[in-house]
Amino acid sequence: MQKELTTRQPAEKRNGRSSGSSRKDKVLKFLRGSRDKNGLIKLLVIYSLLICISFIYLYPILHMLTRSFMTLGDMLDSSIHWIPSRLDGSNYASAVTLMDYWTSLWKSFVLAGLPTLCTLVSCSLTGYGLARYKFRGRAVIIGIIILAFVLPRQVTMIPTYQLYKEMGLTNTIWSLILPAFLSQGLNSSIFIMIFWQFFRMVPQSLIEASKIDGAGAARSFFTIALPSAVPAFITVGLFCFVWYWNESYLTGLYLRMKDINNQVPYWTTLTIQLQNFTTNTSSGSYTETAAVGARTQTETIKMAATILTVLPMMIVYFVLQRHFVESIDRTGITGE
């Protein structure tokens, strides 16, 4: 009987130690994670970094959004910082009127959409030709394209404007459409390189098989290469559209057509209207008694005008976010 008790006690101690060690291992595995699952510590670090980075990007938007709904009393009240006392939409109504929003929105889509379509056509053809055909001077052409991307636009701005003026392209929409159609639009060199890299990944055997079936170069491009390049078209189209949408200096430089009736630029964009509104209000004269109130009210209208300017691009991004991320992954654009 004594032997059984002595043998049973060490066994119970061993079982207690093993159960305690197993619990400790489970806790450590929960904190550290495993190969198949991330641990709590890693998840906390990842989400903390994501929250901090997101706050850096979202803070200006949240600041503009809250200020755009504030009244003059809320702006002058030191106790109100983020949440307005009531939602006031008069700032947006004033911004729509002062910016001629709906007309400028339509013109912005035209000035950004037409050059984007021309860029897609010209850069895809250029990238396909560089990727599929071997000829003398191809390396030189690729080097010139890379140099054109590295070279700042300010260096070629004056001679380009002089050339457009001699050709009669200034003050017309053709100053943006014609260069884009000839692969010389805004940042067209990087778009050519994107198509060039993507078309190089298309198997050459498919092109050769289409040639055996009697397809020419144009038919091979439209039936085989073009359908497989949808991710590249989405990436280039979104990048090009956003860059043309945000461009204000070149658009204001090339498009200065004056309307006879109201003496304002005929072709304008929301970005230019926002810039003109900011310039006019910052240079406006105020009396000393009304200076604080007028400038504060103008600040809220500026915030509303800025939100209205970036809102179309935010909507486009949220709609095409999934396709855009997949296209970035398939076209091979990385930070390397």
Q: Which of 9-18, 22-31, 242-251 has the highest mean pLDDT?
A: 242-251
Average the pLDDT over 134-160 and give the result: 83
The residue written with tokens 């071997």 in the block is 134
Q: Provide the residue ranges of all domains of the chain, joining segments of one domain with +.
A: 93-331
Residues 185/320, Cβ–Cβ less than 8 Å: no
In 83-107, which positions are buried (b, 16+ CB within 10 angstroms) versus exposed (e)? Answer: ebeeebeebbebbbebbebeebbeb
Span 220-267, pLDDT tens digits: 777 777 877 888 888 888 888 988 988 877 887 887 655 444 455 577
290-331 per-position pLDDT tens digit: 455 556 667 888 888 888 888 888 888 887 777 666 655 555
User: 285 falls in which pLDDT band (50, 70, 90)?
Assistant: very low
Q: Which of 69-78, 180-189, 245-254 has the highest mean pLDDT?
A: 180-189
| Mean pLDDT rounded to a whole number for the chain | 77
The CA–CA distances, whole Å, from 314 to 53, 101, 261 equal 18, 17, 34
Q: Which CATH number fits domain 93-331: 3.90.25.10, 1.10.274.30, 3.40.50.300, 1.10.3720.10?
A: 1.10.3720.10
Predicted pLDDT at 120: 92
**Per-residue pLDDT, 296:** 65
Give me the pLDDT at residue 100, please.
84
Closest CA to 195 of 139, 134, 121, 135: 121
Please say if the pLDDT value at position 23 is more than 90: no
The structure's pTM equals: 0.74
How buried is residue 212: exposed, middle or buried, by Cβ count under 10 Å (0-12/13-18/19+)? exposed
Question: Which residue would you say has higher pLDDT here, 129 or 333?
Answer: 129
